[in-house]
Amino acid sequence: MIVNYASGINFLDLLENKYFQIISGLRIAAVKDYSFVFHRRLDGPERLEHKRQKFDREKVYAIHHFRSPGPLRAEFEKIKALASGKKISLHFASESAATLAIETRGGQRNKMPFVTHKIFLFEGDSGEQLEEFLAGKKYQAFARPLGFSYMGLLKRVM
């Protein structure tokens, strides 16, 4: 799930909400591994207007979570151009911007592990189109050397 907040204040207000705290506890308890990450967008302004991001329910999305050394800016432009050449849009791109720690009752801080260090979210007309793009030689030249990499197709339902 990718959630966009217009500002840090909006996010802090959410964290203070008792209903959100209860639901978050249940969500964390319901999964084996829970990860929470703050990301910095690479594909647009860091602060977005207060308008809903548009998604086309007829489109299919491919997500690629990965780790790579150093900043992603140079690779981002190459991947964006490669995708547009295949009539696929790079709908969202980001990299982790902050680390989180969990404080134990004894006062010790444990760094929360990140699963989604960097994310590309591609939008296409079909799953086949996206699979062909991700499996292609040029994209694999980028993806193959990554230390950790997960790719999957998503069909938006909401």
Q: Are strands 89-98 and 109-111 parallel, antiparallel or unpaired?
A: unpaired
**Which residues of the chain, if any, have pLDDT below 50?**
47-51
pLDDT recorded at residue 50:
43
Phi, psi of 46 (to 5 degrees): -65, -35
Q: Kindly report the pTM of this predicted structure.
A: 0.70
CATH architecture of 37-155: 2-Layer Sandwich (3.30)
Q: What is the pLDDT of residue 109?
A: 77
Output the pLDDT for position 139. Answer: 93
Structural domain spans, the chain: 1-34, 37-155
Q: Can you tell me the distance from the alpha carbon of 101 to that of 86, in angstroms, rounded to the nearest whole number?
A: 41
**pLDDT at position 51, please?**
43
SS3 category, 60: strand
Tokens encoding 138? 């040029």
DSSP-assigned letters across all residues of 126-151: -HHHHHHHHHSHHHHHHHTT-SSEEE
φ, ψ for residue 110, nearest 5 deg: -115, 130
Q: What is the pLDDT of residue 71?
A: 73
Give 113's Cβ-side CA count (13 Å radius). 3
